[in-house]
């Protein structure tokens, strides 16, 4: 199958065609084309709580299937199912329920955003569920998931956090730093222990100060850390997004949605981890205190926002696909349009809106 257009690769834009052979990319060839449509790699969202009216946070596999299908239509061909802070029995049941979806390739893995987080920086996380990291709980979840548990967000200042990070890293599970009031040095200690991702950097963190740089500067400056950014114009000002991406470079910046069930849905009342969320003008906030509660973002909209903020489309696609794929251990399989890699791609029009989506060589929308 041949598809003509402007093919976005990690190193530049190739005007020509891409050949798909079975489930793989066969070749990318320069040439004259009649249609200037964009051909971009399928997006990789490593932080996603749901969408289309469905959520990952309750551990319901049917809801997970529908949420994944919703984001697939928006170009996300690889994603983590992210849960918010919850009691351990729910963490166990969700792991058992989602592991078959990971095995089937519907999900790339499970991400526990909590409950080992800071009370001071909990944001929309339910404070009644927050607790110190437990290596016993984590060990049980890792064993139960059989490889399905892929990332856990931890506040490094909590007692037992560094041991938990070392445990996660030793089992090949990504340890992320987030929802934290940690100091600069405490964050560096977490990175030294094996943390390799910053969860929605800037949000849910002690703000940086020139005498107290805190976690933001530590994460942005660490060569081994991939920093997540929610590019919706709400979590981050466009100037902050552009500046941060300049500091990290596209190879350490990952666009994520942090989407909740309300993504793609009308304004109204929703639930996130047992807390009521009000969505107004597509912005999700906790009803009782107004804290930002995830987003209604999709990855195609995140790419449009990044490009609108001045980030070149090649870099924006690296941030939306290539870099997160590498961060989650799939960097030689998905996230880039090059020969031999899985044929995951999205066709975008001149306004960067999704026209069609392909996953593993088959059109899905």
Q: How far is CA 305 from CA 30, 280, 296, 311, 359, in A?
A: 28, 19, 13, 9, 24
Tokens of 203: 């949000």
Beta strands in the chain (DSSP E): 2-9, 12-21, 24-30, 38-41, 43-45, 50-51, 54-55, 76-83, 109-113, 149-154, 174-177, 197-198, 226-230, 253-256, 268-272, 275-280, 283-286, 345-348, 354-359, 362-363
Residues acting as catalytic residues: 258
Using CA atoms of 323, 324, 326, 328 in order, give the dihedral in degrees to the nearest 10: 170
Do residues 309 and 242 touch, judged by C-beta distance below 8 A? yes
Cis peptide before 91 (omega within 30 of 0): no
HEC string of 75-137 equals CEEEEEEEECCCCHHHHHHHHHHHHHHHHCCCCCEEEEECCCCCCCCCCCCCHHHCCCCCHHH
Of all helices (H) and strands (E), which one includes residue 163? Answer: helix 161-170
Sign of CA dihedral 326, 330, 331, 335: negative
């Amino acid at each position: 199958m041949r598809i003509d257009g402007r093919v976005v690769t990690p190193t530049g834009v190739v005007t020509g065609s891409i050949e798909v052979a079975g489930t793989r990319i066969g070749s990318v060839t320069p040439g004259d084309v009649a249609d200037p449509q964009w051909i971009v790699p399928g997006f990789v969202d490593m932080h996603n709580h749901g969408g289309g009216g469905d959520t990952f946070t309750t551990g319901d596999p049917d809801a997970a299937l529908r949420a994944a299908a919703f984001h697939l239509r928006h170009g996300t061909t690889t994603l983590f199912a992210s849960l918010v802070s919850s009691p351990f029995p729910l963490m166990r049941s969700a792991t058992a329920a989602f592991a078959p979806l990971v095995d089937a390739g519907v999900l790339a893995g499970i991400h526990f955003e909590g409950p080992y987080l800071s009370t001071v920086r909990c944001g929309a996380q339910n404070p009644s569920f927050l607790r110190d990291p437990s290596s016993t709980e984590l060990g049980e979840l890792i064993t139960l998931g059989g490889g399905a548990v892929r990332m856990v967000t931890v506040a490094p200042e909590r007692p037992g956090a560094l041991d938990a990070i070392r445990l996660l890293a030793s089992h090949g599970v990504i340890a992320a730093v987030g929802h934290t009031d940690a100091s600069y040095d405490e964050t560096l200690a977490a990175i030294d222990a094996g943390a390799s991702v910053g969860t929605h950097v800037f949000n849910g963190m002690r703000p940086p100060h020139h005498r107290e740089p805190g976690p933001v500067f530590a994460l942005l400056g660490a060569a081994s850390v991939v920093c997540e950014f929610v590019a919706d114009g709400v979590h981050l000002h466009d100037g902050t997004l552009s500046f941060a991406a300049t500091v990290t470079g596209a190879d350490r910046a990952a666009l994520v949605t942090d989407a909740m069930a309300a993504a793609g849905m009308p304004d109204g009342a929703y639930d996130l981890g047992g807390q009521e969320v009000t969505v107004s003008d597509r912005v999700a906030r906790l009803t009782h205190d107004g804290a930002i509660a995830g987003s209604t973002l999709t990855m195609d909209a995140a790419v449009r926002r990044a490009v609108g903020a001045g980030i070149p489309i090649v870099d924006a696609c690296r941030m939306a696909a290539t870099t997160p794929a590498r961060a989650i251990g799939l960097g030689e399989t998905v996230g880039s349009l090059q020969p031999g890699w899985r044929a995951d791609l999205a066709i975008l029009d001149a306004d960067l809106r999704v026209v069609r989506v392909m996953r593993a060589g088959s059109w899905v929308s």
